[in-house]
Chain A
Amino acid sequence: MKSVVSLLFIAALLGLLLYVVAYMPPMGDPENPTNSSDVTTRYLEKAEEETHTVNAITGIILNYRGYDTMGEVSVIFCALAAVLAVLGREKRGKIYAYADRSRVPSSVIVRTMVAFLVPFIILFSIYTILHGELSPGGGFQGGAIIGASMIIFTTIFGLYESSERIPQKLRFPLEGSAFITFFVVGVLGLVGGGNFLTYAWPNIATDLQPAVVLWLTILVEIGIGVGGAMVLISILFSMIREEEEIAVAP
Chain B
Amino acid sequence: MGTALNLIFIVLMVATALLAVFARDLLAAVIIFSVYSLIMALMWQRLQAPDLALTEAAVGAGVTTVLFVVAIFKTRRREEE
Contact = CB atoms under 8 A, between A and B. Distances in A.
Given A236-B67, A239-B70, A128 B62 contact: no
Contacts of B18: none
Interface residues of B, number: 18
A25 to B, nearest CB: 13
Contacts of A145: 54, 58, 62
Interface string B40-53: 00000001101101
Nearest to B66: A151
Contact of A136 (B47, B50, B69, B71): B50
A130 to B, nearest CB: 14
Nearest to A102: B73
A151 B51 CA distance: 22
A105 to B, nearest CB: 15
Nearest to A240: B70
Which of A27, A102, A137 has its CB near the most chain B CB atoms (within 10 A)?
A: A137
Query: Interface extent on A, as a size class?
Result: 20 to 34
A155 B58 contact: no
Contacts of A236: 66-67, 70
Q: Is the interface of B mostly helix, strand, loop or mixed?
A: helix
A145 B58 CA distance: 6
Contacts of A147: 58, 63
Contact of B54 (A102, A128, A235, A239): A128
A242 to B, nearest CB: 10
A144 interface: yes
A155 B73 CA distance: 12
A235 to B, nearest CB: 7
A96 interface: no
Interface in B54-81: 54-55, 58-59, 62-63, 66-67, 69-71, 73-74
B66 to A, nearest CB: 5
Given A144-B63, A151-B63, A239 B55 contact: no
B78 to A, nearest CB: 17
A141 interface: yes
Given A235-B67, A239-B71, A137 B51 contact: yes
